[in-house]
Amino acid sequence: MNKKVIVISYDDLFEGNDKWEVFEGIHKMFPDFKVTFFVNPAQCSVEFLKKIRQPWTELVNHADNHSGSHSVWTKERAKEKLLKYKNEFGFASGFKAPGWKITQNIIDACKEIGFWIASISTIPIEIDKKYYTYYKKGEGLCLLQDYTQYYGHIQSYNFDENLKELKGFCLENKPKFKFVSEMLIK
């Protein structure tokens, strides 16, 4: 198992659900720290989106919210939403559906505009570029063959416990931090 590279991602970042000071603290602790946030951008002000866009953060569209409204997006609406946040706020060229509930319209939109899709390993997606979350024990660290993956939710009841595990792992192993987009499966 590879402990020398780590990909850290958090779901459901939005204004008021961000724990921003915690992440700034981690960045100070580990200057090479990188984290991918799956963001619900419709729940964020312009000022907030500008604040969280840092060289050490990767922002990826995670639909407007968890209401399921993305399930009725047409292919054209999906392209419009994805490109808006990429072009206006520097979001990565990727998408992750809340609850892993993605539609064919969104898959087709991502294919047409060259976006990658993040999914879970048990729900394969037919697209050229993708990233799978391996959900072996739920949230936290998962040692894989080529790298270590850390997956969490901002609002998780065990956020602090998992964060302590993550910091300990990083102190002990001094891994190279990578964004999700740097570890895509092609």
CA angle 154, 160, 162 (to 5 degrees): 85
| pLDDT at residue 136 in the model | 64
pTM of the prediction? 0.96
Which pLDDT belongs to residue 1? 63
> Residues 152, 155, 158, 159: what is their CA dihedral angle, to the nearest 10 degrees?
60
Q: Residue 70 belongs to a domain with what CATH number?
A: 3.20.20.370
Domain encompassing residue 167: 5-183
Query: And the tokens for 136?
Result: 């072996």
Determine the straight-line distance between the first and last CA of the chain, rounded to whole angstroms. Answer: 21
- pLDDT tens, residue by residue, 155-173: 998 999 999 999 999 999 9
Helix segments in 42-74, DSSP class H: 46-52
Q: Domain count of the chain?
A: 1
Average pLDDT of every residue of the chain: 94
| Cα gap 64→186, rounded to integer Å | 27
pLDDT digits 0-9 by tens, 11-41:
999 999 999 999 999 999 999 999 999 999 9
Q: Residue 2: is its pLDDT beyond 90?
A: no
Alpha-carbon 19 to chain mean position = 15
Q: Does the structure show a pLDDT above 90 at 134?
A: no
